[in-house]
């Protein structure tokens, strides 16, 4: 019973509901504006099938494609996904290289469809450690899709929440030193504007797949009041129906923001 209760971090379990029923349950006027996803469990998905971890990362691209489409169709305006953390450099060289190449490949192969569907692509994270070729690809994808308005897809790559805060603090100090920022002007709004996510609302809903219940350095500043939904489903198995489950659960919660 307790296990059931905490299955997805909140208590309700809609995993047995048919997709059409979940769809019917969704209140279109109360959708989360911004959904963030920690796409975890790729390695375990593959190992369980006797495949190398890398196969799980590849399979994860299909899940991302489906979820991106679903967000667009539903009318969720912003999707931010965690693809590679500042800590993921500690993985075996072969896996790191595979993930770098996968971003390169996805930016190339998926871009036409994303662009055709009005998706604005942005990559958030520290670029200095990425190869000039990859940075060029990222910049080209961002430039091509810059004026698209259907869905903003932020891809966290070499992203770390602490690194992002450090970068914002450095910027504040530099501006202050140059006499262009008064210390009293530094408030939450200013800092929000100094994050990689400047100008967009904070995530309303955070989904983490793969069964872990931690934030792993994702969007530390922005997640202050996000509703969190965990699922044991590994990312490569994550489908539109799971997104619907998360949204239904989100809509059944009461957000209080510190009030009674």
Report CA-CA distances (Å) from 259 to 189, 249, 254, 255, 256. Answer: 20, 21, 11, 9, 5
The nearest distance, CB 166 to ligand IPE, in angstroms, is: 18
Cα-Cα-Cα-Cα dihedral sign, residues 164, 169, 175, 178: negative
Which residue spans within the chain are E strands per DSSP? 34-38, 78-85, 119-124, 151-159, 205-208, 227-230
The nearest distance, CB 205 to ligand IPE, in angstroms, is: 16
Q: Residue 83 touches which of Mg ion, ligand IPE, none (CB < 5 to 8 A by kind)?
A: ligand IPE
Q: Which stretch binds Mg ion (CB under 5 A): 40-48, 69-77, 125-133, 240-248?
A: 40-48
Closer to ligand IPE by Cβ: residue 7 or 58? 58
Residues that bind Mg ion (rule: CB under 5 A) add up to a total of 1
Could you identify the residue written with the tokens 């192969």?
109
- Given the residues 29, 42, 62, 88, select the one marked as catalytic: 88
The nearest distance, CB 6 to Mg ion, in angstroms, is: 20
Is 40 noted as a catalytic residue in this protein? yes
Residues that bind ligand IPE (CB under 6 A): 38-44, 82-85, 88, 99, 210, 212, 214, 216
In the three-class reduction of DSSP (H, G, I as helix; E, B as strand; rest coil), residue 6 is classed as: coil
Task: Give the side-chain half-sphere CA count within 13 A for 216.
Answer: 24
What gap in Å lies between CA 258 and CA 260, rounded to an integer? 7
Using CB under 5 A as the binding rule, whether residue 40 contacts Mg ion is answered as yes
The nearest distance, CB 46 to Mg ion, in angstroms, is: 12
User: Which residue's Cβ has the minimum distance to ligand IPE?
Assistant: 43
Phi, psi (degrees; rounded to nearest 5) at 49: -100, 10
Closer to ligand IPE by Cβ: residue 14 or 158? 158
Closer to ligand IPE by Cβ: residue 165 or 191? 165
Q: Residue 99 touches which of ligand IPE, Mg ion, none (CB < 5 to 8 A by kind)?
A: ligand IPE
119-124: strand order across its sheet: 119-124, 151-159, 78-85, 34-38, 205-208, 227-230
Closer to ligand IPE by Cβ: residue 99 or 168? 99
Residues catalogued as catalytic: 40, 88
């Amino acid at each position: 019973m307790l296990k059931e209760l905490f299955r997805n971090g909140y208590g309700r379990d809609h995993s047995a509901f048919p997709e059409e029923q979940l769809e019917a349950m969704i209140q279109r006027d109360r959708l989360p504006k911004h959904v963030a996803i920690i796409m975890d469990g790729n390695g375990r998905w593959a190992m369980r099938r006797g495949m190398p971890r890398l196969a799980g990362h590849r399979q994860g691209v299909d899940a991302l494609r489906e979820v991106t489409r679903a967000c667009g169709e539903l009318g969720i305006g912003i999707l931010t996904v965690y693809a590679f953390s500042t800590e993921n450099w500690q993985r075996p060289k072969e896996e790191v290289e595979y993930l770098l190449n996968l971003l390169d490949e996805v930016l190339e192969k998926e871009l036409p469809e994303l662009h055709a569907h009005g998706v604005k692509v942005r990559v958030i994270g520290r670029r200095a450690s990425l190869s000039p070729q990859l940075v060029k690809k990222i910049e080209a994808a961002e430039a091509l899709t810059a004026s698209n308005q259907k869905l903003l897809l932020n891809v966290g790559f070499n992203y770390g929440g602490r690194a992002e805060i450090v970068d914002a603090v450095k910027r504040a100090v530099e501006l202050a030193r140059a006499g262009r920022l008064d210390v009293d002007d530094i408030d939450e709004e200013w800092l929000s504007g100094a994050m990689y996510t400047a100008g967009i609302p904070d995530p309303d809903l955070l989904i983490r797949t793969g069964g872990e219940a931690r934030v792993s350095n994702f969007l530390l500043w922005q997640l202050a009041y996000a509703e969190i939904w965990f699922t044991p489903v590994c990312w490569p198995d994550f489908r539109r129906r799971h997104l619907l489950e998360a949204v239904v659960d989100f809509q059944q919660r009461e957000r209080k923001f510190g009030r009674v």
